Amino acid sequence: MNILDLIITDKKIEVNQRKRIFPSAYWESSPLFERKTKSLAKSLKASNSGIIAEHKRRSPSKQNINSSLSVEKVARGYESAGVCGMSILTDGKYFGGSLDDLTIARAVSDFPLLRKEFIIDDYQIIEAKAFGADAILLIAAILSPKEILSFSKTAKSLGLDVLLEVHNLNELEKSIMPSIDLIGVNNRNLKTFKVSLETSRSLAEEIPAEFIKVSESGISEVASIKKLKAIGYKGFLVGENFMKTDNPGLAAKDFINQLDV
């Protein structure tokens, strides 16, 4: 069993436990559930940098990245740096995150927030809205076309943008549908955790023009973004490159300033 299979097995147990304790109706009555969301897609369209900065404490491949910084400080720093939005890992067991991170970031910032999670149930989308998210991630590798359609429609009904993540052409072809806003190409193989920007390059022309193209993972150099922009990418999800520093917000600001040179 590879790491992705392990994560999904544990996620099913976790979600079922949460549903028993907190039914959907509980989250639907929360204060943030009626909040008007901010579109990550629109933010990217209006941006020159296209940076979506990530908050990630650790990962199965890197173990500890940075567990010492508060999500409040990171969110304030990223927003001050002028990024388009913030991706927040909410998985606890493998990434050290939580839904509380989402709420804290929402309390101190006004830019779009993406709940980055292994979504396998509509329940998690309702949670995302209740905790202050503006967008959700759907991973094609773990979902059927029927599930992608159902989950993306649920998200849209709640005013949430949908970022669909693919790793190869088969995943892309099975997932293209009108209820998706952004298509992200993950350069990290979720089964082996090896990273290659060639994944984004190879799929660039296969993504229909009506979708915003986002390149994810392994992006650490300004030159890489400039090359990806030239082949149609508008968004760039950057995490470890910022989070491994003592001041992710400052690192993001310096990175964006280099892009503008």
Q: Residue 173 catalytic?
A: no
Q: Residue 116 catalytic?
A: yes
Longest dimension (CA), the chain: 53
Question: Among the options 54, 79, 171, 240, which is catalytic?
Answer: 54
Angle between helices 248-259 and 71-81 (to 10 degrees): 20
Question: Among the options 165, 187, 240, 253, which is catalytic?
Answer: 165
Q: Residue 216 catalytic?
A: yes
Q: Residue 127 catalytic?
A: no
Question: Among the options 66, 217, 234, 240, which is catalytic?
Answer: 217
How far is it, in rounded angstroms, from Cα 143 to Cα 175? 9
Question: Among the options 56, 129, 213, 234, which is catalytic?
Answer: 56
Question: Among the options 152, 186, 187, 200, which is catalytic?
Answer: 186
Q: Residue 72 catalytic?
A: no
Q: Residue 234 catalytic?
A: no
Report, as residue numbers or ranges, the catalytic residues. 54, 56, 116, 165, 186, 216-217
